[in-house]
């Protein structure tokens, strides 16, 4: 297969991946929205005796930053800003993506995963989040990644996932409804919040993947243009050589005649 055909295939697959990412994100958005409504239904319930101060992380706790890069190449300096931020970071961190710089001697790296491992064994990161929220290990959880808005707008972003603003009461929810609970309410709400953060991380990864493929599609498109220009220039040279040979043949035939 020629280089041009390989680049064409990469370009085509990049477009498909962006579309798949949009559809996948939509599924997570629906679940995330319903989970947030359920959390708010408990948090704002007027019949629930809930000491909200117990859910506020201590200012003495640590910060956890989750860095999301990529595994594949051919997408320019996609990881440049991620790696630049990572080099300055003195907090605890999770690194996702083979192309993100990983220093094994950094004792504050609590988890390193490739994108493939992120999906196949998400429970490792999920357990870190649950432990961090439930036991108050982290006062703040952030994610650092390249966010996809649309094909013309990508932005390097640092987003705080925890603690988050519960927002206002929903008009269509009955906050006077009574509950019958068979577990500790703080355990329940802490696990729900941790689960919400996990959904946020998955959405951010999908956004990052879409952004990565937009950049790859742009680069492969430019590469195809360059290949076309090179091929056109080569064709011009070949036509010129062919004309020179044809002209030389005409001259030789004229002399022989």
18-71 tens-digit pLDDT: 677 767 766 666 777 777 776 776 666 665 655 555 567 788 999 999 999 988
Report residue 37 as tokens. Answer: 């409504």
* DSSP assignment string, 97-127: -TTS---TT-TTEEEEE-HHHHHHTTHHHHH
Model confidence pLDDT, tens digit, residues 104-113 = 788 999 999 9
Tens digits of residue pLDDT in 204-257: 888 888 888 787 777 777 777 887 788 888 888 888 888 888 778 777 777 776
Encode pLDDT of 98-155 as tens digits.
888 888 788 999 999 998 999 899 999 999 999 998 888 999 999 999 887 776 777 8
Domains of the chain by residue range? 14-167+185-214
DSSP 52: G
Which residue, among 39, 32, 87, 8, has the nearest Cα to 200 in the 3D structure? 32
User: So what's the pLDDT on residue 211?
Assistant: 82
Distances (CA, A) of 227 to 2, 8, 128, 217, 237: 11, 11, 47, 15, 15
Q: 179 pLDDT band (50/70/90 cuts)?
A: low
What residues contact 139, with CB distance under 8 A and at least 6 apart?
57, 58, 59, 60, 61, 62, 63, 163
CATH code of 14-167+185-214, in short, is 3.40.1380.10
Euclidean distance between CA atoms 32 and 26, whole angstroms: 10
| Adjacency order of strands within the sheet including 153-162 | 109-113, 92-96, 62-68, 138-150, 153-162
The residues with which 94 forms a beta bridge, in sequence order, are 66, 111
């Amino acid at each position: 297969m020629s280089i041009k055909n390989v680049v064409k295939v990469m370009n085509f697959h990049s477009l498909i991946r962006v579309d798949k990412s949009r559809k996948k994100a939509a599924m997570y958005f629906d679940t995330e929205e319903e989970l947030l409504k359920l959390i708010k239904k408990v948090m704002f319930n007027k019949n629930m005796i809930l000491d909200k101060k117990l859910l506020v992380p201590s200012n003495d706790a640590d910060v956890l930053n989750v860095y999301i890069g990529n595994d594949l190449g051919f997408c320019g300096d996609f990881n440049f800003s991620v790696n630049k931020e990572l080099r300055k970071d003195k907090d605890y961190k999770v690194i996702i993506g083979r192309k993100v710089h990983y220093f094994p001697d950094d004792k504050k790296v609590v988890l390193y995963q490739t994108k493939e491992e992120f999906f196949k064994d998400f429970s490792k990161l999920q357990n870190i989040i649950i432990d961090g929220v439930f036991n108050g290990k982290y006062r703040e959880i952030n994610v650092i990644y390249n966010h996809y808005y649309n094909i013309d707008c990508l932005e390097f972003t640092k987003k705080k996932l925890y603690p988050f603003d519960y927002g206002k009461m929903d008009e269509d929810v009955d906050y006077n409804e009574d509950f019958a609970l068979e577990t500790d309410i703080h355990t329940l709400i802490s696990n729900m919040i941790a689960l919400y953060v996990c959904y946020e991380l998955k959405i951010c990864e999908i956004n990052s993947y879409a952004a990565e493929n937009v950049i790859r599609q742009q680069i492969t498109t430019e590469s195809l243009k360059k290949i076309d220009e090179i091929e056109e220039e080569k064709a011009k040279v070949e036509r010129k050589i062919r004309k020179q040979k044809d002209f030389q043949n005409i001259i030789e035939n004229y002399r022989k005649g």
